[in-house]
A and B are shown apart, each in its own frame.
Chain A
C-alpha cells in the first residue's frame, strides 16, 4: 500500500515538473509575442505620429492658401458671399419669377 502511494506521489511530482516546465515555456513564448506586439504597436504609433505631423504640415493654412491662389485662382471669402437659407430661397424665387 505504501509503495503504491509513494509511486503515485513520485509520478505526480514528475508530471507536475513537466507540466510546470511546459507552462513556463509557453509563458516565455507568449512574453516574446507580447514584446513583439508592443514593439509593433509603438512602431505603428510612431508612424502615425510621423504621418500626422506630415499631414499637418501639408494642410497648414499657409500652404493651402498659396496652392488655392496659384492653381485654382481662389481668393479669401468675402462677407458678401454669405447668405442665410431664407435669403438664398428668396433669391431663387426672384430669379424664377424673372
Chain B
C-alpha cells in the first residue's frame, strides 16, 4: 500500500521537478535574451555613432546669418596682384543679449561716428531679432578696442573683403564690388558672371585659379603718370590713353583721368570720372583720315599716287570745308595724310561714296556695338540720315562718334598686316583665328604713311619721335560739339601711334580733353600736345615691353 501510495507521489515529484527545470531554463533564456538585446542595443549605438559623420548641432549653429562671395584673385599678366580677398572682422549684435542698448551706443558712437545711429537704435531695440550688423569691415585695431569693452551681445564675424593693392591705377579696368563682395563693374562683373565665385557664410577664401589680365602694371603706371603730367602741363580737363598689342588686341595698359579710388566706389558714379576709353564716345577728328585713306586704297578708290584738288573750298550744306596755307594744291595720298588735309579727305570720301564707306567702317567694327570682358562699350553714334555731307565730314572724323577703344582696335587692323583685332583684357589660352579685313600691301602702305608722318619734317606727328623706336602715327584735333554747335577752343587733341613701324607690335592712342590755350601758349592742337606726350610715353614703356632700340642710319 505504502509502495503504491508512494509511486504516484514520486511521479508527481518528478513531474514537478521537470516542470520547474523547464521554467528555470525558460527564465534563463528570456533573461539572456534581454541582456543580449541590451548589449546589442549598446553595441549598435556605438557602431552608429562611430559611422555617423559631423555632429548635427554644429550644422545648426552654422546656419547662414549673412552670405557673401569668395572671389578668385586678379593679377596682371606678370602675376602681380591687383585684387584679392582679405578676411576682415565685421561687428554684429544679438539684440536679445544686449543688456542696455543706450550704453552700447554710447560706447560705440565715438568709435564709428559716421554710422546712422538712429536707424541702428531702432533695430537694436527689436529684442526679437537675433542678428543686426553694426559695422562690416572693421580694422584689427578697432576690433581690439571693442573687444576690450566687454559688452555682452556684441560679437565679431570674419568676412571676406575685396582689396585692391594697386589702388586707383587699375580701378577703371577692374571695377569694384558691393558690401557682399558681389561684382558691380569692370572685370569684377566678368569674374562674377563668367569665371565664377563661391557663396560663403564665413571667411573661406576662393580656391579658384587667379584671373590673369593682359595688363602690365608697370606699363600701366607709366601711362597713368605721364597722362597725369600731360593733363597738368596742357591744362586739360581730362586725359586718357591705351596701349594695345596690335596683333592680339590685348590691352597692355589703359587709363582715364580723373579716375577713382576703388575703396570709395561712390566716386565712380561721378560723370567726370567715367572711363573715357570705353564709356565715352567722341568725334575724334583727323585720326579718322587713316581709316578713310586705308579704305580708299583697299576699295581701289585711289592709289598712293592719286591726286586730289584741295585748292578750292568744299561746300557742305551751310558749312564750308576749306584749307589753309600749304595744304592747298593738288595733293597725293601721302600729302593729304601728313599735312592732314580735310578737303583732300572729304574728296576721297565723296569718291568712295556712302555705301562703300559704311561697309568699310563696318568691316573694321566702327559702326557696330562692341563688347569686351568688361561689358559692352558705348555704341557708336552715326548720322540718322546719312547724306553726302556726312560722308565728307566722316572722312576726317566728324559726324561719327566712337569710343577710343573701338577706334584703337580698328587702327590696329590698318597696320598689323590687315587682320581684325578685338580688344580684350583677360589672358586666354588660345586666340581665335584672325580675319583678314585689309590686304597686306594696303596695311604696308599705311605703315609707311604712319612712319612718314613722324619721321618727315612736314609731318604733324614729328613731336612723337623717339630715337631708336621708329614711331609712326596720326594726329587729330577735333572740335567738340556743344549744344549742336562746334565751340571754339573746345577740342580733343589725340594721337594714334604705333612702334616700331617696321613690324608694329604696340599701338598707343593718347587723348587730351580740352587742353587750355593759357597753359599751352595757344598751341592746343594734337601736334603740340598729344604727339609729344605720346613720345614721352613710348620712350618709357618700349624698354619695359622688351623692345630693344635700334638705330638704322641713326634714325629718330
Interface residues of B (CB under 8 A from A): 39, 42-43, 46-47, 49-50, 80-82, 84-87, 163, 165-167, 169, 203-205, 217-218, 220-222, 224-225, 466-469, 539-540, 542-544, 548-549
State which of A46, A76, A80 has its C-beta within 8 Å of the C-beta of B467. A80
Residues of chain B contacted by A52 (CB below 8 angstroms) = 81, 84
State which of B50, B84, B217, B542 has its C-beta within 8 Å of the C-beta of A27. B50
A24 to B53, CA, bound (A): 12
B545 → chain A closest CB, angstroms: 12
A17 to B43, CA, bound (A): 6
A24 to B222, CA, bound (A): 63
A23 touches B225 (CB 8 A): no
CB within 8 Å for A79 and B469 given contacts A13-B43, A21-B46:
yes
A82 → chain B closest CB, angstroms: 6
A42 to B87, CA, bound (A): 10
Residues of chain A contacted by B544 (CB below 8 angstroms) = 77
Residues of chain B contacted by A4 (CB below 8 angstroms) = none
A37 within 8 A of B: no
**Chain A to chain B: the 9 pairs with minimum beta-carbon distance, closest first:** A56-B165, A61-B221, A79-B549, A56-B81, A57-B165, A79-B468, A46-B87, A76-B540, A24-B50
Q: List 24 A-B contacts (CB under 8 A).
A: A17-B39, A17-B46, A24-B46, A42-B204, A46-B86, A46-B205, A49-B86, A49-B205, A50-B86, A52-B84, A56-B166, A60-B167, A60-B221, A61-B220, A62-B167, A62-B225, A76-B540, A77-B543, A77-B544, A79-B466, A80-B468, A81-B543, A82-B543, A82-B548
B254 → chain A closest CB, angstroms: 15
Main SS class of interface, A: helix
A82 to B313, CA, bound (A): 50
CB within 8 Å for A23 and B50 given contacts A42-B204, A60-B169:
yes
Chain B residue nearest to A21 (CB atoms) is B46
B256 → chain A closest CB, angstroms: 16
B186 → chain A closest CB, angstroms: 18
A24 touches B49 (CB 8 A): yes
Residues of chain B contacted by A20 (CB below 8 angstroms) = 43, 46-47, 50
Chain B residue nearest to A50 (CB atoms) is B86
Residues of chain A contacted by B169 (CB below 8 angstroms) = 60-62
Interface size on A, residues (CB 8 A): 31
Interface residues of A (CB under 8 A from B): 13, 16-17, 20-21, 23-24, 27, 42, 45-46, 49-50, 52-57, 60-62, 65, 76-82, 84
State which of A16, A17, A84 has its C-beta within 8 Å of the C-beta of B548. A84
Given A62-B224, A82-B543, A84-B548, 5 new contacts (CB under 8 A) = A17-B43, A20-B46, A42-B204, A61-B221, A79-B469
Residues of chain A contacted by B218 (CB below 8 angstroms) = 61
Chain A residue nearest to B140 (CB atoms) is A50
Chain A residue nearest to B166 (CB atoms) is A60
State which of A17, A23, A49, A77 has its C-beta within 8 Å of the C-beta of B84. A49
Chain A residue nearest to B82 (CB atoms) is A56
Residues of chain A contacted by B540 (CB below 8 angstroms) = 76-77
A72 to B332, CA, bound (A): 53
A5 → chain B closest CB, angstroms: 13
A29 → chain B closest CB, angstroms: 14
Residues of chain A contacted by B84 (CB below 8 angstroms) = 49, 52-53, 56
Residues of chain A contacted by B205 (CB below 8 angstroms) = 42, 45-46, 49
A81 to B548, CA, bound (A): 10
B87 touches A60 (CB 8 A): no
State which of A23, A24, A53, A78 has its C-beta within 8 Å of the C-beta of B165. A53
Residues of chain B contacted by A50 (CB below 8 angstroms) = 86-87
